[in-house]
A and B are shown apart, each in its own frame.
Chain A
Amino acid sequence: MFEAVLLTIITAATPLLIAAIGELVVERSGVLNLGVEGMMIMGAVVGFAVANQTGSGTLGVIAAIAAGMAMSALFGFLVLVLVTNQVATGLALTILGIGFSGLIGEAFIGIPGLKLPDLYIPGLSDIPFIGPVFFQQDALVYISFALVIAVAYFLFRTRLGLVLRSVGDNHGSAHALGYSVIRIRFAAVLFGGACAGLAGAYMSLAYTPQWVENMTAGRGWIALALVVFSSWLPLRVVIGAYLFGAVSVLNLHAQAVELDIPSQLLSSLPYLATILVLVLISANRRLTLVNTPACLGKPFVPDR
């Protein structure tokens, strides 16, 4: 029982973790992309479609990443080149993504999908309890942890990471020092899109290997909340993602023990928990002000 619960928590947390770590980099560069949900759902449908047509899960994952990046490039062009309002443009990206995914996915409804294979590590996977939980996951679970470590290292241990953070904290100074604010932000936005696409692929190729319309069900928005929860620190995203993963599988396991609670109340818990967490974090001004990128969401037009 405990083992099964842990396994479902990991699968529920992984897409949140991947999408949130991507958005964290975007926000560290000073851009607020509210379109995570739209990029994620496009990743889910494109990943499913390509895996279904080619029979290759790997190709599906690659296509999903490309789809997420294409969506984010659209966002990046509007927000960075045409200096449109970031909130409204992010919303537009979500509305467009949900629409397009519905159109593309219509042919794939009800078709059984392809599940990414679980990795088998000789020796380690056979250890009782620890083996199945930690060493028999699909590749994306490990990639999600690798991503967190890589992002943490990049942001705080490399020169380019420092530049990216400086662009997010003070784009005027970064520009004056000769850094191309727009180019750096565009790269960050593309990385965020790739992560959101990957998270979408996880939804349709591992979490529930099928295509259901609107299957991301607000996870892109929860990922955005996780970035706030983490106060823009990569390692804290892991804690947040697994906490939310745990909350979102409550529904599943409550049915097994036959609790007399309306299923709708249990389904709404992740959303209510998001609100609660946002309130707790934002009420603590010290925590939020220290790490919030100072230029988050602010438009930048280089003066010439």
Chain B
Amino acid sequence: MRVELVKRKERSRKMALLSPLIAVGLTAIAAGIIFSISGHNPLSGLYKFFIEPLTQEWSFNATIAKATPLILIACGLSVCYLSNNWNIGAEGQFIVGALFGSALPILMPEFENAATLPLMMVFGMIGGALWALIPALLKTRFNTNEILTSLMLVYVASLLLDYLVRGPWRDPGGYNFPESALFSDAATLSTIPGTSISFAAPITLIVAIVLAVVLGKTLKGFEIRVMGESPRAGGFAGFSARKLTLFSFATAGALAGLAGTMEVSGALNQLLPTISPGYGFTAIIVAFLGRLNPFGIIVAGFVLALSYIGGEAVQSAMGVSNKIASVIQGLLLFFVLACDTLILYRVRFVGQRGSAGEASHV
């Protein structure tokens, strides 16, 4: 049997909605197989991984806490990917944003007032944007491949963080532990009164809504989509690919930097040698699973956040390694990409002879 692709006359709207669902379903099946290979009941594994975290309040809140940075970063990345700019260094932009945001409470701890937190967030966005502009400028100025440079800067950023928390920014009263001093109350992002959900969540929601409006209703959004689909046509319309590269990288970097600042200020309350369980990379999956659409990204952010929480859950309940979470994340991206083929193509399974009569359509 052979697989053949037949191009559809137009994008299938039905498949555009269905393909992420099919992908999640296939991932669940694959995860079930992994559970049974490692000697566990696949159904209870899947339940503990995907469902149970949503049924308890604390784990539901933990899911929101993990989904927030993922959604924020993925929103920025979607601007890059829609316009055909391959920024895969969001992890580094997240870290540098966190460093810029932390500079204020660490270097000027006595600066405590209502402006502290907003200033930290602005610094974080500036830091992330500057870090993201490095590969963007190298691309526009020297035509350098942005995929490799943005990724290399992730390693540089994490080494910079490591240097700062072990060196100049280490807490003088911290018994030589590699960590910064705890942030003051003024530098701490609080939780919504009466809940244990950080204010990072509503901020992220607002960003996603603003992005949806910009992408759907404004000229800038049109520019982003045109330049992604047909740079030549965009050129005739007077859009500049270079400016858009800088714009999309700066946007993605700023949002990743904001996420980094909110993570250290809200969740961690200090700088540590590692401040992210790979949010910047997981957000790439979130962006694709969410079909590069802000509302899709919100849903996808929850799915991927669940994989972190579910990983912890199956580890403590069943003794399965929490490494299974990153396997499931990788499989999910594979299935998402494979299912996206269904949007543009019809898949035909052709018998060995290849005659049209035997072909069955999907």
Contact = CB atoms under 8 A, between A and B. Distances in A.
Chain B interface secondary structure, helix, strand, loop or mixed? helix
Given A103-B324, A103-B327, A95 B148 contact: no
Interface stretch (B95-103, B117-125, B186-194, B333-341): B333-341
A274 B148 contact: yes
Nearest to A106: B321
A233 B253 CA distance: 35
B4 A228 contact: no
Interface string B135-152: 000100011110111011
Contact of A275 (B149, B329, B337, B341): B149
B147 A34 contact: yes
A265 B166 CA distance: 13
A95 B152 contact: no
B145 A272 contact: no
Contacts of A218: 151-152, 155
Q: Which of B4, B152, B153, B326 has the largest number of chain A CB atoms within 10 A?
A: B152
B29 interface: no
A83 B326 contact: no
A82 B5 contact: yes
Nearest to B326: A99
Interface in A273-288: 274-275, 278-279, 282-283, 285, 288
A95 B144 contact: no
B327 to A, nearest CB: 4
B138 A279 contact: yes
A24 to B, nearest CB: 15
Interface stretch (B198-206, B211-219, B280-288): B280-288
Contacts of B328: 99
Contacts of B329: 95, 99
Contact of A264 (B145, B162, B331): B162
A304 B5 CA distance: 10
Contacts of B341: 82-84
A94 to B, nearest CB: 8
Contacts of A103: 321, 323-324, 326-327
18 contacts: A87-B86, A88-B337, A93-B334, A96-B330, A96-B333, A97-B330, A99-B323, A99-B327, A100-B327, A102-B321, A225-B152, A228-B145, A262-B167, A265-B159, A272-B156, A282-B142, A282-B145, A301-B345
Given A84-B341, A275-B144, 17 more contacts: A74-B334, A82-B337, A82-B341, A84-B338, A88-B333, A89-B337, A95-B281, A95-B329, A96-B331, A228-B148, A265-B163, A267-B159, A271-B152, A272-B156, A274-B148, A275-B148, A282-B143
